[in-house]
Amino acid sequence: MNVQSTPLEGCLIIEPRVFGDERGYFFESFNQQKFAELTGRDTVFVQDNQSFSSRGVLRGLHLQKGGSAQAKLVRVVQGEVLDVAVDLRKASKTFGQYFSIRLSDANNLQLYIPRGFGHGFVVLSEHALFQYKCDNYYDKAAEGGLHYADPQLNIDWIIPHEQLIVSEKDVILPNLADAGDFGF
């Protein structure tokens, strides 16, 4: 496993070691001991989630507020997405900045997103099967998020906005300037 830093403190790219031959390939998608050793984080994941989406579906930008905040380890099992993490930790030097990366079944990359971040992705392939681990349980009362087209964030989603498929819930999320305190 190889771990790379991103411009956002604590947000890490995880590249598994893939063993391939004429039969196909094998890789360890997660190992708690190696993860802690290589990242310096003793994160304990308690919930796994999976979604299936079509090209142009944008999910995000989502977060859990305050004590329900979640660190996530995300990956794509099938297809390709543009994955986006937004630093929402008020004391951070990179507050209000985002990092994006293409995650796919071809590159097998994963992104570790610490607590205090908003997260979203858009599907670039015909379909995508997306999985993520969370270190805290989902709490409906702590749901929060930011509008995907917030001009302050200025995220390049690659797909033109008029072609995005966004839920009604995500369309009405506030911009960062209007969001208030997330408790980070």
Closest by alpha carbon to 118, among 68, 149, 84, 93?
84
Catalytic residue among 62, 98, 112, 119: 62
Catalytic residue among 98, 132, 147, 148: 132
98 is catalytic: no
62 is catalytic: yes
Question: Which active-site residues does the annotation give?
Answer: 62, 132
